[in-house]
Amino acid sequence: MKNVKVGIVGYGSYIPRNRIKVEEIAKVWGADAPSYRRGLMLQEKSVPSWDQDTATMSVEAARRALQRCKVSPQDIGAVYVGSESHPYAVKPTGTIVAEAIGAVPHCHTADLEFACKAGSEGMFIASQQVRAGSFPYALAIGADTSQGAPGDALEYSAAAGAAAFILGRDQILAELLETHAYMTDTPDFWRREHMFYPKHGGRFTGEEAYFRHLLTCSREIMEKSGRKPKDFAYAVFHQPNGKFPYRAGEMLGFEKEQIDTGCLVPKLGNTYSGASPLGLSAVLDAAKPGDIILMVSYGSGAGSDGFIWKATSLLSKVQGLAPKTWDQINKDPRYLDYGSYAKHRGKIRMNEGD
Amino acid sequence: MQPQEFWREIPQRYRLEASKCLKCGAVFFPPRRRCAACGHEKFALTRLPREGKVTTFSVIRQGGGDMIRISPYAVCLVELEGGVKIAAQLVDVEPEAIKTGMPVRLEFRKIRETGDAGVICYGYKAVPA
């Protein structure tokens, strides 16, 4: 089966227009904004409006993925939505997305959760399903509107966005050359049932969690494919802040220029399940035929999914058919003060019935 | 809102499904059983485009109920490409920046929540194109 070609045949991204700067958050909590800018390389983050959630952003990203290919929604046999902020505790997001894009009713749907790597999990499953011939096409989405507790370090980075990928066997834009998954039981970040905000292990989220899993997965997949860092045009790593992906890249032997295009977090924030998928979408917006791309996600709990993609000559024909990711980040942002941000994010307790 | 009320309208709210008269070609949204133009009763299913322009709008500054969260907010009439007009909330734009004729597109958004435990209703809203 492994000799069957599969890859991305359509991709799309969606980023809300609202933003908040780290200075605005730091001002409220008496924190030192320059330390977030310098230490974690965070400048601002996206903020979903009150009427945007994982389902709405997933639908928009999926529609943009369809704009970049000639796939009929009725030929999409599976819809997988990875997120840690599904709108319902019980009721799938995938059915909403499948219904909105017109992929229902003969469609397999699942919601996935694995902290920040739920999106890449969907890509992993969708690609294997397509390779096995179960479906002609499968849609995988990574999306989140995650929240950091007020005043917590995560509040400076927890952002919103979605990326969608249609996997298929023909008209491939980026061929999937290799995959690898690496995971252990590592409790570095979690949210218990019925809890509104997540908790984390502070510095334990670094060496033993993010770096161990992401670096090992990266080294293993490069060894499996017989490639070295210099063979890649781009590398996309999970990006909880601006510091981690660059440090991981340096430890693996990548140059800053290989990471820049797919590192959105300084201007976008951490979009959790959307983070490495959105990074990949930005790279696909810029990649040229023949470019080799390394993508390695990381999800707390903990694990990494690795992918090696190769851009085809078809990619350049579709890059301009839907909004590009960096354009969405840079175009006409609307900056919120902390009060408006708190209202949009539902952090203000209202009277019953209001 | 009862879930079945919302569920019945999903084809229109999610996919902009309209009916096109098989005799005179008139398009109706939401779909009709009898053509208002020629009286014919057979229709084809069609999907409306998502792009259009604002033909008129109003800004509500004293939102009632849970709309207090988003006041002031705008509602508008959008003439979609092809000529069908559709009423929608207009979001992601400051009220003072709204102008008649401005290009918009319809995005998938949350319309309302029936309390913290109730069903979430999704549908379309206009955003600047």
What ipTM did this prediction achieve?
0.96
pLDDT grade for B107, boundaries at 50, 70 and 90: very high
Active site residue A106: no
pLDDT attached to residue A353: 57
pLDDT attached to residue A352: 65
pLDDT attached to residue A346: 84
What is the total count of domains within chain A?
2
Active site residue A213: no
d(CA A303, CA A245): 15
Average the pLDDT over B107-114 and give the result.
93
* Chain centroid, CA A24 distance in Å: 25
d(CA A311, CA A23): 39
Q: Tens digit of pLDDT for each residue in B33-89?
A: 999 999 999 999 999 999 999 999 999 998 887 788 888 999 999 999 999 999 999
A-B contacts (CB, under 8 Å): 50
Active site residue A108: no
Q: How far is A161 from chain B (nearest CA, A)?
A: 14
Per-residue pLDDT of chain A (354 residues; tens, 9 = 90+): 668 999 999 999 999 999 999 999 999 999 999 988 998 899 999 999 999 999 999 999 999 999 999 999 999 999 999 999 999 999 999 999 999 999 999 999 999 999 999 999 999 999 999 999 999 999 999 999 988 889 888 999 999 999 999 999 999 999 999 999 999 999 988 999 888 888 888 888 888 999 999 999 999 999 999 999 999 999 999 999 999 999 999 999 999 999 999 999 999 999 999 999 999 999 999 999 999 999 999 999 999 999 999 999 999 999 999 999 999 999 999 999 999 999 888 888 877 654
Q: Which two tokens stand for residue B25?
A: 């070609």
Q: Give the domain extent around A57.
A: 7-173+316-344
User: Do B110 and A51 count as a contact with CB atoms less than 8 A apart?
Assistant: yes
Q: Is the pLDDT of residue B14 over 90?
A: yes
> Which residues of chain B have a Cβ shorter than 8 Å from any chain A Cβ?
10, 14-15, 65-66, 68-70, 91-92, 107-111, 120, 122, 125
Say whether both A308 and A340 belong to one domain.
Answer: no
- Within 8 A of B66 by CB-CB distance, chain A residues are 354
Say whether both A27 and A159 belong to one domain.
Answer: yes
Region for residue B116 given its phi and psi (left: phi exceeds 0; alpha: psi -120 to 50; beta: otherwise):
alpha
Say whether both A222 and A266 belong to one domain.
Answer: yes
Say whether both A148 and A244 belong to one domain.
Answer: no
- Within 8 A of A59 by CB-CB distance, chain B residues are 108
- Would you say A49 and A18 are in contact if contact means Cβ atoms under 8 Å apart? yes
Q: How far is A167 from chain B (nearest CA, A)?
A: 23
Say whether both A48 and A68 belong to one domain.
Answer: yes
Say whether both A251 and A336 belong to one domain.
Answer: no
- Within 8 A of A353 by CB-CB distance, chain B residues are 65
Say whether both A129 and A238 belong to one domain.
Answer: no
- Within 8 A of A354 by CB-CB distance, chain B residues are 65-66, 68-69
Q: Which two tokens stand for residue A307?
A: 């992918």
Say whether both A20 and A113 belong to one domain.
Answer: yes
Say whether both A324 and A280 belong to one domain.
Answer: no
Say whether both A164 and A227 belong to one domain.
Answer: no
Q: A350 lies in a domain?
A: no
d(CA B47, CA A98): 16
